[in-house]
Structure 1
Amino acid sequence: MPDRPTDPRTGRPLGLLRRRVRTPRQKLLASLVTVAVVLGLGGYGVARLTTPEDRSCAPGVERPEGSSECVGVSGDGHAFGIPELQEIAGLIGAENATLKDGEYATVAVLLPLTSTDSGMRVKVLHEVQGAYAYQYRANHESNSETPKIRLVLANTGKGNAHWRATVDRLIGMTGAPDRLRAVSGVATSSTEVRESVAALTGAGIAVVGTTITADDIANGPGPGHNRYPGLARVSPTNSDEAKALANFGRVDAARALLVQDTRSGDHYTDTLKAAFAASLKGAPYEPQLFTSPTDPTDEGTTANTFRQITHLICDTRAETVFFAGRHTQLRQFINALGARGCVDRPFTILTGDEGSYLGADEKLDRGALKARLTVRYAALAHPDAWKPAPGRPVPATGGSVVAYGTFVSDVARASKQPVALADGQAIVAYDAMATAVHAIRQATPQGSRFPELADVVTQWPQVKGSLRVEGASGWICLDNYGNPYNKAVPIVELAPDGSQRFVQLAWPENRPPTTACLPPKRG
């Protein structure tokens, strides 16, 4: 056998495997390292399993268990993951950063900021813009009145599903340094909103509703009707909306019918259909019924029902249809009625303020509005309501050109782009903030920096007469129960191009209030 080549450095044959012989000391060290690694990884795993997951989004905001939404309260510029809110949240955060500890009271805007419904997202943006517009006025253009106002955004989540956690956080903010003194927003007449209002007012916090219109989320005379002590609203009730519509339209009940949602628990729909039914006493036709999904922003199968209802409407002598339902179903009904068989007959649909969503609804069939179909709704506010126009003079009472012009100047600060005003949401939110600030400052004793919590909720009975709020949407004169008296109701028509055309102002009492604007005694 020939000799194997050897390594010239070591003299060992090449190709042979080297054997490393470890000393006992080396073996011990290797074992200790292995054990340490295993224990370290195990400890890391145990820590991962036992340490609570960090679900925070920002100070005061976190993702609830099982949800990806950021829910809670923030005034530091946090936008809750909603790109559309980034600019306005930043403006609020910047304004709040200028305030010094001890010189401000806090007002929260409570809304479903992370709603996935496109109509609600638009509404939320406009309401926050309107609220900020008045916060800026209160802090910079009110003759240095005190206290200054800190504004925070409070998110209740999609469908207000997480209202409880957010409301609990607000209740915990009534002491220093926040000194929460009022909550605005609370903008939908739903069960969750009703429970939110009950919890907040039960904790002694003043609440100013922007677009809640349900009659049963309100206070009134008689035993058991002061369920929400400290609640005020700047929008008329559904009953007042229905009265204003009836006064405007002078509808012949013999040629009218009601289409209504049978889903109960929706306070907007429940009270609207009751108000419409009261206006249609003596009508020859029973209501046409549909049932919306549990979440009325879902499409569901109601479009099929409306296709059938349009056939039945064609069988009647009706000319006017009162619609008691939410905006998704309203859009479906309009689309169906636009494709009706009796297209040669004209129809007018009258509905509540949910009609304001239709201007931005991309699923609305604009062609339906050209098929001899007129859609009119009782709006909460409209940018043309207090603008003089040829043949349409502005009423001498009930509102003013000057108050609306002030709002226009203020809201221009809320966005680099012009703020959309046609749906009225920014206008109403501005007025709600104005009402909240009015109560806070009226309740502040001479020489004090801010009011006591209990003193703010007692202010509503005095918001009337010369102490009324000169709102951009009209005068806000509250009765003893916090409800606006004879508030201006703009009647708005949905034009074929999707624009929301102002028709005229209507009044629950059939005429504007007197100069005194003092609600009459009611039983």
Structure 2
Amino acid sequence: MARRGVGTWLREGVWEIPLRRYTALLVTLALVAGLGFAVRALLHEDRSCAPGVSRPAGGHECVGVATGPYDFGQPRLRDVVRAIGRENDRLRAGGYVTVALMLPYTSTSPTSQNDIRHQLQGAYLAQYQANHDANGERPLVRLVLANPGATGAHWRQTVDRLVAMTASPDRLRVVAGIGQSTEANKQAVRELTRHHVPVIGSSITADDLANGQRGGDPFPGLARVAPTNTDEARALASFAKVSAGRALLVYDRPGDPYTRTLQESFAALIKGSPFESQPFTPPADRSKEGTTANTFRQITHLVCDTPRETDTLLFAGRHTQLRQFINALGGRGCQDRRFTVLTGDEASYLTHEKDLDRGALGRNLAVRYTSLAHPDAWTKDPARTGGSAADSAALRKLLTAAGRGPMGPVGSVALDDGQLIIGYDALRLAVHGIREAVPAGLTVPALTDVGLQWPQVKGSLRVDGASGWICLDVHGNPYDKAVPIVELTPSGSSRFVRIAWPEGKPPGKECLPPS
């Protein structure tokens, strides 16, 4: 047999079978590798939403600290977030410090979202004012948004990020806002202040989310713009002349920091009342409806069973339950009797609330509450001290400027819920503390030095807020702060009634808290 050459072997396909095997093996390996990458991608999916913001494992909310113009998927925040982004972009690295506004930006409640937008607008106006009307004062202020989740459940992730930003080029120096007085926010404030991060509560009013109330300062470095529930209740009592025999208390059981301390404050006002206080139990998430509407229908029967001289209903609860209570009262059997519901600042959430039965307010029923601020307070009830129309006008001037030119747009604006005003004042206090803490010859204060400024914010060092003078005691609480009494109207807005004062009268011109 003749010997075959290499060419003959190749032509006859002797190598064809091994080559096909090698090719198949390579294809199989590629498929396995691709499958492995796919599995790893599924197991380690990208949960980021924006710089500084991500979805925690098992969660769908984007939480954390947005260091860029991110609106957390909320269209109504878009304009003001973009305005903040433009202001932040003009700041040069090394020439600013950061202030975080911590609020539940992913809340699904339209009412809460309106309040968040307004408070964010106020904070932006204060930022712009600080950076453009500072007469050369430094440092400039960068504003970022911190979201602990709709209910605050992810506060730990957000707080950890905020603490890390204090030692980074962000140079975070204050966390403002906080939002409602809830257990989650209480834990967040405790952890922030444990790490020496100064905190300014804009709308927190619970007595147990404050220093100096029951001895000691559990939150060192915390300052507040709003009065405590006790101070609000004292102001309300001085205005309404509440007496034990003419008032019935309706309260949230077991309550949260806000409702519990409001209940305690109201109970103290009517000590010795002949009527048993009436509890209701809402869902753990008090923005939900639950079954409390049925409880309130039953309570209205008890309201009508009281003697005719009883004309005041003290309500210690959140705004969702307040709305249900008002709606139930609108259908009460004794509509020939006039009642006034008195409650805390949560009622401001019902301004423009579409599910509120406005007709109930025309059936011998008035709803009055202590607002954190109101645009008419200093024009319709000018006090000689404690605040001024000029301080309120300065904010209005900024709002006018925001409607045109480089400042705006900032989105739909409203002042009557007080949130924009209080957001503005909280950031002004933050700027004041930051700049007062700057050592001579430097432009940036040490983190711990900012919180040390709060006890000196009084007298000539007070902050002249649009909500009234901010004079802090040694515990960081506002002294004898102006408390606007406001009434819900059938038209869907609110009506300013009068300024009331925790001390029964405005502070002296020196605004120095007593010992």
TM-score range, shorter chain: over 0.9
Offset of residue 483 of structure 1: 0.2
Is residue 297 of structure 2 the alignment partner of residue 303 of structure 1? Answer: no
The aligned counterpart of 1:37 is 27
The aligned counterpart of 1:209 is 201
Offset of residue 175 of structure 1: 1.8
The aligned counterpart of 2:222 is 231
For 2:479 and 2:471, how far apart are their aligned partners in 1? 6
Q: Choose which of 85, 88, 91 in structure 2 pairs with 1:93.
A: 85
Offset of residue 83 of structure 1: 1.3
Offset of residue 22 of structure 1: 8.9
Gaps of 5+ in 2: 1-10, 403-407
Count of matched residue positions in the alignment of Structure 1 and Structure 2: 495
Q: Is the 8 A contact 2:105 2:116 kept in 1?
A: yes
AA aligned to 1:208 is I
For 1:221 and 1:505, how far apart are their aligned partners in 2? 24
Q: Is the 8 A contact 1:129 1:411 kept in 2?
A: no
Offset of residue 453 of structure 1: 0.8
Q: What secondary structure, in the 3-state scheme, does the structure 1 residue paired with 2:83 have?
A: helix
Q: Choose which of 127, 141, 154 in structure 2 pairs with 1:149.
A: 141
1:6-85 alignment to 2 at 5 Å?
A: 23-51=13-41, 52-85=44-77
Q: What secondary structure, in the 3-state scheme, does the structure 2 residue paired with 1:67 have?
A: coil
For 1:132 and 1:22, how far apart are their aligned partners in 2? 81
For 2:501 and 2:471, how far apart are their aligned partners in 1? 14
Q: What secondary structure, in the 3-state scheme, does the structure 2 residue paired with 1:243 have?
A: helix
For 1:312 and 1:29, how far apart are their aligned partners in 2? 92
Is residue 254 of structure 2 the alignment partner of residue 263 of structure 1? Answer: yes
Is residue 423 of structure 2 the alignment partner of residue 435 of structure 1? Answer: no
Gaps of 5+ in 1: 1-20
The aligned counterpart of 2:448 is 454
For 1:222 and 1:354, how far apart are their aligned partners in 2? 24
Instruction: Return the TM-score normalized by structure 2.
Output: 0.94
1:337-486 alignment to 2 at 5 Å?
A: 337-387=329-379, 389=380, 393-412=381-400, 413=402, 415=409, 417-486=411-480
Q: Is the 8 A contact 1:76 1:90 kept in 2?
A: no
Cα 1:274/1:352, change in 2 over 3 Å: same
Q: Is the 8 A contact 2:177 2:202 kept in 1?
A: yes
Offset of residue 386 of structure 1: 1.3
Q: Is the 8 A contact 2:351 2:493 kept in 1?
A: yes
For 1:362 and 1:136, how far apart are their aligned partners in 2? 33
Q: Is the 8 A contact 2:166 2:172 kept in 1?
A: yes
Is residue 101 of structure 2 the alignment partner of residue 113 of structure 1? Answer: no
The aligned counterpart of 1:291 is 281
Is residue 243 of structure 2 the alignment partner of residue 252 of structure 1? Answer: yes
For 1:24 and 1:139, how far apart are their aligned partners in 2? 82
AA aligned to 1:36 is L
The aligned counterpart of 2:7 is none
Q: Is the 8 A contact 1:116 1:158 kept in 2?
A: yes
AA aligned to 2:358 is R
AA aligned to 1:111 is L
Q: What secondary structure, in the 3-state scheme, does the structure 2 residue paired with 1:475 have?
A: strand
Q: What secondary structure, in the 3-state scheme, does the structure 1 residue paired with 2:199 have?
A: strand
Q: Is the 8 A contact 2:83 2:410 kept in 1?
A: no
The aligned counterpart of 1:10 is none
For 1:514 and 1:181, how far apart are their aligned partners in 2? 32
Deviations 1:458-483 (CA, angstroms, capped at 9, x unpaired): 10110000100000000000000000
For 2:264 and 2:371, how far apart are their aligned partners in 1? 18
Offset of residue 253 of structure 1: 2.0
Q: Is the 8 A contact 1:382 1:424 kept in 2?
A: yes
For 1:45 and 1:83, how far apart are their aligned partners in 2? 38
RMSD: 1.4
Q: Is the 8 A contact 2:251 2:316 kept in 1?
A: yes
The aligned counterpart of 1:184 is 176
Cα 1:212/1:222, change in 2 over 3 Å: closer
The aligned counterpart of 1:6 is none
For 1:305 and 1:355, how far apart are their aligned partners in 2? 19
Is residue 281 of structure 2 the alignment partner of residue 281 of structure 1? Answer: no
For 1:157 and 1:353, how far apart are their aligned partners in 2? 22
1:305-324 alignment to 2 at 5 Å?
A: 305-317=295-307, 318-324=310-316
For 2:141 and 2:124, how far apart are their aligned partners in 1? 10
Deviations 1:128-168 (CA, angstroms, capped at 9, x unpaired): 11111000000001112100001110011110111110000
The aligned counterpart of 2:155 is 163
For 1:167 and 1:22, how far apart are their aligned partners in 2? 73
Q: Is the 8 A contact 1:75 1:96 kept in 2?
A: no
4+ residue segments displaced more than 6 Å: none
Q: Which has the larger radius of gyration?
A: 1
For 1:89 and 1:32, how far apart are their aligned partners in 2? 58
For 1:407 and 1:177, how far apart are their aligned partners in 2? 31
Q: Choose which of 323, 326, 330 in structure 2 pairs with 1:331.
A: 323
For 2:409 and 2:458, how far apart are their aligned partners in 1? 32
Q: Is the 8 A contact 1:111 1:156 kept in 2?
A: yes
Deviations 1:237-291 (CA, angstroms, capped at 9, x unpaired): 0001100111000123211110001124x10000000000001112210101110
The aligned counterpart of 1:493 is 487
Offset of residue 416 of structure 1: 5.1
Cα 1:149/1:416, change in 2 over 3 Å: closer
For 2:209 and 2:360, how far apart are their aligned partners in 1? 34
For 2:151 and 2:234, how far apart are their aligned partners in 1? 29
